[in-house]
Amino acid sequence: MAKISVSNKATTPGRRNLTAADRQQQMVERAITLFAQKGFALTTRELAEGLQVTQPLLYRYFPSKQLLIEQVYQQVFMSRWDPELEQQLKDRTRPLRERLIDYFIGYTRTILSNEWVRIFLYAGLQDPQLNQRYLKQLHETVFLTIIEELRHHKQLNTPLDEQALSLEIEVLWGFHSSFFYLGVRKWVYQLPVPEDLPQLIALRVNAFLDGALHCDQLP
């Protein structure tokens, strides 16, 4: 995934020619870079300095820091959310193994960037509501879809009780989170990760399915 670049227009004489929408977008892009570097625990003065604007100008476009954080959330997380990945998971004309591999290839391309990983971690420490909103959507769309497709593949038609569903979701949490951890290793721990991610994804999906498909009951 291409990195979000920060324009230098605001530091040039031509910056006054920016439209209001362009200036606001420029501030959001700089905020993405700033929050990825330092997190959300910034004073308004520090935030304005980091965005290279005056505090009055910052207030004009974002009357509160929370409004700016919301725009960052929308751009970093929600604008990169691909509903097509969920639909591909439901396509029963294709083998489940292929669907899962393609899903995780698309998912890792979406999340494995410096900005995505570091902002997600900072949010968990300083503003967990952002994480909770994102993970709620992940749970309600992807997690439940994978469980449904896996049970269909195994021809399990008995409805799950609340406890059984909770256990299956916990197993899926661990599997799904292993891909996010690649980003933590790379952009937090500064450790190398495999270059051939599709190959790694295929191996992990195979291991997950080989275990799940040979259990009488999930997990």
Q: What pLDDT is attached to residue 161? A: 87
Higher-pLDDT residue of 218, 44: 44
Q: What pLDDT is attached to residue 215? A: 55
Higher-pLDDT residue of 206, 6: 206
- Where would I find the beta strands (DSSP E) of 1-66? none
Q: What pLDDT is attached to residue 189? A: 95
| pLDDT exceeds 60 at position 8 | no
Helix pair 44-51, 65-73: axis angle to 10 deg: 50
How much is the pTM? 0.84
| pLDDT exceeds 90 at position 60 | yes
Q: What pLDDT is attached to residue 157? A: 84
CATH numeric code, 9-75: 1.10.10.60
**How many helices and strands, by DSSP H and E, does the chain display?**
11, 0
Q: Are 177 and 64 in contact (CB under 8 A)?
A: no
Please, what is the Cα angle at 152 between 197 and 182, to 5 degrees?
20
Domain 80-212 in this protein, CATH class: mainly alpha
Location of structure tokens 């509903």: 83
Q: Which strand (E) or helix (H) includes residue 108?
A: helix 96-111
pLDDT in tens, 154-207: 888 888 888 988 988 999 999 999 999 999 999 999 999 999 999 999 999 999
Sketch the domain layout of the chain as residue ranges: 9-75, 80-212
| 16 CB-contact burial (10 Å; exposed 0-12 / middle 13-18 / buried 19+) | exposed
